[in-house]
Amino acid sequence: MKRIESALWALLLVVSGTGLAAQNSDPAKVAEYAKTLPAASAPVFDEQRREMLASFAISCADHPQENTGTRNNYLWGYEKMPLLLEAYDRNRAFFGCSNWHDAVGDTWMMMSLLRQDPKIALASDIKDIATTHFRKGNMDGEVAFFSAPRPTADSTGLGLANFEQPYGYSWLLKLYGETKGYPNSDGKKMATALAPLARWMSEKYVYYLYNLKFPFRSGTDTNTAWSMSLTLDGVNLSEDTTLQTAIKANAQRLFTKDKDCPTGLEPQNTDNVSSCLTEAALMGRVMEQKDYLKWLDEFLPPVYSELFQGYAKPIDTSHTSTSGPDVQVQLTAKSHLIALSFQRAYCLLTIAQALPRDDARVPVFTSLAAMNATRGYENIGSAGYEGQHFLATYALLYENAAKGPAPLGPEKPKVKAGAGLTDAETPSN
């Protein structure tokens, strides 16, 4: 199915939007269009909101993932009947928050919040999770699980050998970069604990990228450009130059010939990723600006065209139900569409940051990002646990982007002449 889906997307990229989408944006028309947008300010990101996001992750960090029947044996064993792994809280690090990649993403979110606001009211809870989940035994268990040989598929045909590749790998490498950039000993301890798994996943991801025949362009976690973007954040901070090079080289190999992205088809079903905006955001980070401007004009339709207006409209979740026998499925669908608001906002800001400051599209992308993020916050609590366990992570991706472009490397410690070094100023080895 994934191969067919990617082939269909490739065909659509060739044949769709051959009129407006292929035209260069007219700055005068962009400026006129900007005047038609409703006034939009970025959502307030105050202490109360930061605590809300942190509380979402804290509340699910120790809640064991349910048996999904996929038989990956990460948390559940399968003999005569499913059995929860004995002493899982001492042999696994990412056992909460519904699934492995969301557990890792939530951990990144908590660590990012703590780095930005060390005095956040929930700091002790976050530190407790970092202490109890990342002991040597927990991380040894993670490495042993991922590096152990596994069958390529189970009896249902579901893949096991590539468990969480590449999306889960991306979050782990992003988390590792976050902890490597920490200015104190607590972060450095966590980075040391994560290092063996990060190295293993980095090597596997490099091999994966160079052997990827075609990108997955779906609006889900499988989206190739989305995983690349998240990973790039991490490897820039961890200074993993091998994986940096692999991402940049393969992004250009896979995406530079793309034109006329079918924006009018978004969103599909229960997307949580904007296929077109995600690719455009990634390419703005790996291409020279002059080349990117030409590529972007041919890839996305002008912001004032009808083909682009889906990004200005609220995402409709009215078809999802919060009652009935399939309520969990419905809430999952709703949570994905709420996440899409934040994900769009993140991508729109990332694209704006790749453009010249005087580009007429910058204020448009910035306004659309604020509109989408506001809608995300308005609905963040309306999907129950299905949203609670991961939406805060997507919200923080937007909030971090709102502060400026993602760092290209670790922050250098500031040392005052003649002063002793504090813990926060101690250079890393």
CB 292 within 8 A of CB 354: yes
pLDDT of 152: 62
Residue 153's pLDDT band (cuts 50, 70, 90): low
pLDDT of 260: 96
* Cβ count near 305 (within 10 Å): 19
The average pLDDT across 209-233 equals 97
- CA atoms 219, 220, 224, 226: torsion sign: positive
When mean pLDDT is compared across 28-32, 373-377, 424-428, the lowest value belongs to 424-428
Round to whole Å and give the CA distance between 402 and 110: 18
pLDDT of 69: 65
Q: Which residue bears the tokens 């005052």?
A: 416
| 3-state SS string for the chain | CHHHHHHHHHHHHHHCCCCHHHCCCCHHHHHHHHHHCCCCCCCCCCHHHHHHHHHHHHHHHCCCCCCCCCCCCCCEEECCCEEECCCHHHHCCCCCCCCHHHHHHHHHHHHHHHHHCCCCCCHHHHHHHHHHHCCHHHHHHHHHHHHCCCCCECCCCCECCCCCCCHHHHHHHHHHHHHHCCCCHHHHHHHHHHHHHHHHHHHHHHHHHHCCCCCCCCCCCCCHHHHHHHHHHHHHHHCCHHHHHHHHHHHHHHHCCCCCCCHHHCCCCCCCCCHHHHHHHHHHHHCCHHHHHHHHHHHCCCCCCHHHHHHHCCCCCCCCCCCCCCHHHHHHHHHHHHHHHHHHHHHHHHHHHHCCCCCCHHHHHHHHHHHHHHHHHHHCCCCHHHHHCCHHHHHHHHHHHHCCCCCCCCCCCCCCCCCCCCHHHCCCC
Length of the chain as a residue count? 429
Nearest to 225 by CA among 249, 253, 251: 251
The average pLDDT across 297-311 equals 97
- CA atoms 284, 287, 289, 294: torsion sign: negative
Q: What angle do CA 259, 263, 265 make, to 5 degrees?
A: 120
The average pLDDT across 33-53 equals 95
The predicted-structure confidence for 97-145, as pLDDT tens digits, reads as follows 989 999 999 999 999 999 999 999 999 999 999 999 999 999 999 999 9
pLDDT at 76 over 60: yes
Instruction: Name the percent of the chain lying above pLDDT 90.
Output: 70
The average pLDDT across 1-12 equals 50
Backbone angles phi, psi at 414, to 5 degrees: -100, 125
pLDDT at 429 over 60: no
Residue 17's pLDDT band (cuts 50, 70, 90): very low
Instruction: Report the first-to-last Cα separation within the chain, whole angstroms.
Output: 47
**CA dist list (Å): 383 to 108, 335, 425:** 22, 5, 42
The predicted-structure confidence for 45-65, as pLDDT tens digits, reads as follows 999 999 999 999 999 999 998
Single-letter code of the amino acid located at 289? Q
Q: Which residue has the higher pLDDT, 98 or 414?
A: 98
- Please state, rounded to an integer, the average pLDDT across all residues of the chain: 88
Round to whole Å and give the CA distance between 265 and 263: 5
Who contacts 422 (Cβ-Cβ below 8 Å, separation ≥6)? none
Structural tokens at position 234: 């991490």
Please give the model's pTM, rounded to 2 decimal places.
Answer: 0.90
pLDDT of 13: 59
When mean pLDDT is compared across 59-68, 85-94, 214-223, 249-258, the lowest value belongs to 59-68
pLDDT at 419 over 50: no
pLDDT at 392 over 90: yes
Residue 178's pLDDT band (cuts 50, 70, 90): very high
Q: Is the peptide bond before 166 cis (omega within 30 degrees of 0)?
A: yes
Nearest to 301 by CA among 108, 47, 13: 13
Q: At what angle do helices 100-116 and 47-61 cross, to 10 degrees?
A: 140
pLDDT at 357 over 50: yes
Q: At what angle do helices 185-210 and 167-180 cross, to 10 degrees?
A: 150
Nearest to 311 by CA among 64, 12, 37: 37
